[in-house]
Amino acid sequence: MLYIFNENIVYDDAQCSLTNCKSYDSILLPATASRLLSLFIRYQGSTLTREEILNCVWDEYGYKASNNTLTQYVSLIRKNFQLLGETADIIITIPRTGFVMNKEVAVKMIESGAEKQDILLSDTRPFNDDFLPEKVEQVMSVSDTDPGAEEDSTSAITKKSKRLVWFHGLNALSLFMFFLICYHIQLKTNEMKVSKVYQVGTIDTCPVYMFFRSAHELLPVRLTLTEKIAREKIPCLTGSFYISQQEDSLIFDEAGRLFISRCSYQAGNKKKISSCKSVFSHE
């Protein structure tokens, strides 16, 4: 399911991501933060107590968390919206009670496949009984003894025929549009995906990049986690760089997944990569 905040930020609950509609900058949320945001969306405008949130987001999934952990995750969601350019206060703190999603924030839900369905149905007229063959036969069976009736019958048949032509023409047009859309989707599927990366520091002489922007105050912790695994498993080599990504739960709960890859350029060419060695760790 997709949710659009203030026509600016798109939240994909399946991919656990936030994306700016204009710049296409994207931030990946940890699974816990995604569940928390989905809960706020479901009860937008209603105050949720800390106990209710902890039960729905942590306890029901077999985890335990404190009020401090909840506050940190709410802060993370707010900062990620701000990093993507959203100025509105998305989540409001209710002192000594809990939190509430601002009811003034416009949240639009888009179901998967809705846009494609609208395109396919936009040019199709509702089926009418006048198009049935029985109706045409009834018009053609009018008595020949009345010249006026015969003339009216001919006129009626002509009108029905034109409407049938229009009906089948629209069906053919809709079918053509369907195949055109499928062809366009196939082309998009075969395109090579290009991802934007952000440099967050260095390990020895090797730059370290991440696929998503992170809150500034969390970067030192992320770099420390990456450096620990890198020095143990895949130390820096001359002419190499690292690509790393961690779940935020590693920072807050000290449990989660981390991915790191060391890639080397081809000799004398920093636009082509010769090889990569990757490590996937679950702490």
| Residue labelled with tokens 């060391």 | 262
- Please report, for residues 4, 109, 177, the alpha-carbon distance to residue 17 in angstroms, rounded to integers and kept in the order given: 12, 15, 31
pLDDT at 211: 80
The Cα 47–Cα 98 span in angstroms is 7
Strand partners, 241: 263
DSSP-assigned states of every residue in 28-92: EPPHHHHHHHHHHHHTTTS-EEHHHHHHHHTGGGT----HHHHHHHHHHHHHHHHHTT--S--EE
Please identify every stretch of the chain with a pLDDT value under 50, giving residue numbers as ranges: 114-145, 147, 149-151, 153
The Cα 101–Cα 83 span in angstroms is 18
pLDDT tens, position by position, 149-179:
444 545 555 655 666 667 667 767 776 776 6
The Cα 263–Cα 221 span in angstroms is 22
pLDDT at 139: 40
The Cα 175–Cα 43 span in angstroms is 41
